[in-house]
């Protein structure tokens, strides 16, 4: 028997995350170590993994590891960067959010790291088994995190709703894999592609493909599979809501891209139609319902549903331009959405968080810094220049027009106008309305302000120097 | 027996699972129906694996069983924590999140 050769250095980011996860678990056992140290270990570990991913992206490392189970290339590195940036930001905003005396913080950070590892496996999985295991590792950790405050009724309820619908979606996803295995006789992504090219389309493959789309649709909250999103975002702890809206969505799209442009490329005419319809539905329903929300977390939930629709517009183009602009959009979306949730955490009073939009009245002058951060994030989400949101939307729409989906871009543009209404409504409430009652807001936690400052710099930087961020996305799509 | 029979049975099991999730209101029963969906996929894997003479499908089943066990452990814990608050696991009555 021969021992397979494994190039461990190719798996650097994953290994660093596993090591960090072990260190956090062990440190958690010592009573003498302050719990905030665990958060810093998480941040440092993720930062090292981030650095490794950036280096590997620059170097252009390419390889198949574990007998072709994992594919390490620029594409997976680009997504690793998205996940790790999200993890670092979410950990930063969690430190002040969790109670200093909370004894269970170890679990919290361990689960965040495990979810990150699951996402990384999804992005680099070259075999449907690995993608499924990564998906489950991520989802199972997130179910627990959504219900983390088990003494609070809404939190455990959010956990249960996420669990039931997430597991339901996994069932569809798995059955889709089973049918594709039946149709192609293999679960390896490159082999499925060559099998399809040689053999043509069997009904089993088509049925499997649609089941996979349903599974992905649930995971990234596309209309009509989005019903869980607002409830889960509202009930989950706010940093976790930010995390669920960012990383897992990017991971879902990463695996979607790998499978649909890698394995099922020959079925492109069939799945493009579905993607175009889902994109139009997701944008329109998400934005229209968001205008009717009075709770800011629910509004952000519907807005994140709509943003998944914009990413789909890029995927509908299904060429190098479309995919790289969708990847850039995902990166921008993750950063600005975590920023928006962080601004929500910043607006805290004695009785917890202030989630009614009406409570934000008059904040513009009473809490200028908070209102400024919130305004920048919302303007970016709405897509105003010179923020990152504008850049992301511009590239996505342009690639879709180039690919001939003009009417889809018209729908997207109308949707952007609708979304400006509800984002700007919050800004108007903050600056132009007088508060009904004086609310006693907490002092700014320094780490939260630091995280928001980072996000703001990022959002403006991408907005001003977009090509610096688009270029890595473009070279990452070379394998398609 | 041919592969079609096994795939037919697995499709039937899957449908029973999906319909169960959609019409039953007890969280535990919904959870059981989800397990049924996963096992339908397992049956398809094993049958296809035998037909092709390719063992990787059976290996896949082991992974799925592990995942399903982990899901049950986490799922039941979360459902118990909801039950502690509401004294019910009927998903229609667990409705404090609405918009």
Q: CA A424 to CA A415: how far, in whole Å?
A: 14
Q: How confident is the model at residue A201 (pLDDT cuts 50, 70, 90)?
A: confident
Whether residue B98 lies inside any domain: the answer is no
Q: A132 CA to chain B: closest CA distance, Å?
A: 9
Q: How confident is the model at residue B99 (pLDDT cuts 50, 70, 90)?
A: low
| Mean pLDDT calculated for residue range A247-271 | 91
Q: CA A171 to CA B14: how far, in whole Å?
A: 9
**What would the DSSP string read from start to end of B16-66?**
HHHHHHHH--BHHHHHHHHHHHHHHHHHHHHHHHHHHT-THHHHHHHHHHH
ipTM: 0.96
- Predicted confidence (pLDDT) per residue in B2-36, tens digit: 889 999 999 999 999 999 999 999 999 999 999 99
With beta carbons under 8 A apart, name residues in chain B contacting A132. 63-64, 67
Q: CA A425 to CA A136: how far, in whole Å?
A: 38
Q: How confident is the model at residue A416 (pLDDT cuts 50, 70, 90)?
A: very high
* Spatial CA neighbour of A231 closest among A146, A311, A173: A146
Whether residue A318 lies inside any domain: the answer is yes
Q: Under a CB-based contact definition with an 8 Å cutoff, are residues A267 and A196 in contact?
A: yes
Q: What is the pLDDT of residue A342?
A: 93
Q: Which residues contact A55 (CB under 8 A, 6 or more apart)?
A: none
Whether residue A104 lies inside any domain: the answer is no
Whether residue B62 lies inside any domain: the answer is yes
How many structural domains is chain B composed of? 1
Q: CA A54 to CA A267: how far, in whole Å?
A: 33
CATH number of B48's domain: 1.10.287.3510
Q: How confident is the model at residue A74 (pLDDT cuts 50, 70, 90)?
A: very high
Quote the percentage of chain B above a pLDDT of 70. 97
Q: What is the pLDDT of residue A351?
A: 65
* Spatial CA neighbour of A128 closest among A259, A219, A216: A259
Q: CA A333 to CA A381: how far, in whole Å?
A: 8
Whether residue A480 lies inside any domain: the answer is yes
- Quick check: B99 and A187 CB within 8 A? no
Q: What is the pLDDT of residue B9?
A: 95
Burial class of A425 by CB neighbour count within 10 A (0 to 12, 13 to 18, 19+): middle
Whether residue B91 lies inside any domain: the answer is no
Domain that holds residue A379: 267-480
Inter-axis angle of helices B3-23 and B27-52, nearest 10: 170
Whether residue B99 lies inside any domain: the answer is no
Q: Which residues contact B64 (CB under 8 A, 6 or more apart)?
A: A132, A174, B38, B41, B42, B45
Q: Which residues contact A374 (CB under 8 A, 6 or more apart)?
A: A340, A343, A346, A347, A360, A363, A426, A427, A430
Q: What is the pLDDT of residue A349?
A: 72
Domain that holds residue B81: 3-86
Mean of the per-residue pLDDT values for chain A? 91
**What would the DSSP string read from start to end of A156-196?**
HHHHHHHHHHHHHHHHHHHHHHHHHHHHHS--BHHHHHHHH
Whether residue A305 lies inside any domain: the answer is yes
Neighbours of A107 (CB within 10 A): 18
Whether residue A181 lies inside any domain: the answer is no
How many structural domains is chain A composed of? 1
Which of B67, B73, B95, B98 is the best substitution to test chain A (most A C-beta atoms within 10 A)?
B67
Half-sphere exposure of A30 toward its Cβ, with a 13 Å CA cutoff? 10
Q: B19 CA to chain A: closest CA distance, Å?
A: 11
- Predicted confidence (pLDDT) per residue in A422-478, tens digit: 999 999 999 988 877 777 777 788 899 999 999 999 999 999 998 888 888 888 886
Whether residue A352 lies inside any domain: the answer is yes
Whether residue A170 lies inside any domain: the answer is no
In chain B the first and final C-alpha atoms are separated, in Å, by: 52
Q: How many CB pairs under 8 A join A and B?
A: 121
Whether residue B32 lies inside any domain: the answer is yes
- Predicted confidence (pLDDT) per residue in A327-336, tens digit: 999 999 999 9
With beta carbons under 8 A apart, name residues in chain A contacting B60. 129, 181, 187
Q: Under a CB-based contact definition with an 8 Å cutoff, are residues B34 and A172 in contact?
A: no
Whether residue B12 lies inside any domain: the answer is yes
Q: How confident is the model at residue A39 (pLDDT cuts 50, 70, 90)?
A: very high
- Quick check: A157 and B54 CB within 8 A? no
Whether residue A27 lies inside any domain: the answer is no
Q: Under a CB-based contact definition with an 8 Å cutoff, are residues A88 and A43 in contact?
A: yes
């Amino acid at each position: 028997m021969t021992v397979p050769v494994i190039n461990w250095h190719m798996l650097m980011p994953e290994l660093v995350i596993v090591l960090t996860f072990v260190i956090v678990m062990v440190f958690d056992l010592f009573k003498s170590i302050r719990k905030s140290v665990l958060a810093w270990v998480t941040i440092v570990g993720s930062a090292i993994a981030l650095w490794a991913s950036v280096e590997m992206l620059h170097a252009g490392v390419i390889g198949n590891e574990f007998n072709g189970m994992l594919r390490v290339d620029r594409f997976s590195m680009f997504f690793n960067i998205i996940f790790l940036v999200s993890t670092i930001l979410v950990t930063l905003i969690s430190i002040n959010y969790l109670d200093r005396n909370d004894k269970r913080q170890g679990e919290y950070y361990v689960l965040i790291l495990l979810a990150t590892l699951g996402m990384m496996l999804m992005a680099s999985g070259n075999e449907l088994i690995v993608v499924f295991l990564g998906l489950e590792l991520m989802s199972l950790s997130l179910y627990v995190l959504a219900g983390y405050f088990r003494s609070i009724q809404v939190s455990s309820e959010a956990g249960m709703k996420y669990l039931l619908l997430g597991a339901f979606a996994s069932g569809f996803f798995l059955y889709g894999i089973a049918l594709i295995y039946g149709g192609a006789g293999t679960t390896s992504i490159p082999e499925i592609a060559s099998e399809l090219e040689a053999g043509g389309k069997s009904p089993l493959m088509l049925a499997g493909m649609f089941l996979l789309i349903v599974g992905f649709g649930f995971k990234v909250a596309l209309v009509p599979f989005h019903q869980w999103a607002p409830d889960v975002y509202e009930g989950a702890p706010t940093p976790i809501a930010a995390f669920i809206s960012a990383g897992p969505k990017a991971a879902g799209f990463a695996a979607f891209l790998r499978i649909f442009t890698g394995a099922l490329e020959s079925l492109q005419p069939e799945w493009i139609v579905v993607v175009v319809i889902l994109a139009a539905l997701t944008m329109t329903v998400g934005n229209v319902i968001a205008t009717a929300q009075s709770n800011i977390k629910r509004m952000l939930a519907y807005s994140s549903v709509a943003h998944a629709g914009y990413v789909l517009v890029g995927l509908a183009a299904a060429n190098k331009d479309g995919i790289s602009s969708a990847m850039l959009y995902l990166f921008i979306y993750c950063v600005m959405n975590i920023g928006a949730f962080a601004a929500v955490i910043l607006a805290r009073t004695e009785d917890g968080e202030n989630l009614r939009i009406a409570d934000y009245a008059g904040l513009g002058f009473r809490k200028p810094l908070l209102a400024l951060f919130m305004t920048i994030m919302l303007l970016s989400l709405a897509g105003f220049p010179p923020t990152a949101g504008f850049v992301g939307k511009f590239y996505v729409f342009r690639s879709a027009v180039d690919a001939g989906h003009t009417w889809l871009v018209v729908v997207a543009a109308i949707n952007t106008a609708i979304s400006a209404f509800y984002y700007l409504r919050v800004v108007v409430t903050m600056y132009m309305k007088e508060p009904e009652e004086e609310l006693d807001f907490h002092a700014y936690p320094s780490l939260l302000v630091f995280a928001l400052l980072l996000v703001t710099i990022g959002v403006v930087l991408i907005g001003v120097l977009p090509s610096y961020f688009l270029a890595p996305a473009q070279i990452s799509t070379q394998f398609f | 027996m041919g592969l079609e029979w096994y795939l037919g049975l697995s499709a039937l099991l899957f449908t029973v699972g999906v319909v169960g999730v959609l019409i039953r209101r007890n969280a535990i029963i919904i959870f059981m129906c989800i397990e049924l969906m996963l096992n339908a996929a397992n049956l398809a894997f094993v049958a296809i694996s035998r037909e092709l003479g390719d063992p990787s499908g059976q290996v896949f089943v082991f992974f799925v069983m592990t995942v399903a066990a982990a899901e049950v452990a986490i799922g039941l814990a979360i459902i118990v924590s909801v039950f502690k608050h509401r004294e019910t696991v009927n998903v229609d009555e667990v409705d404090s999140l609405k918009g």
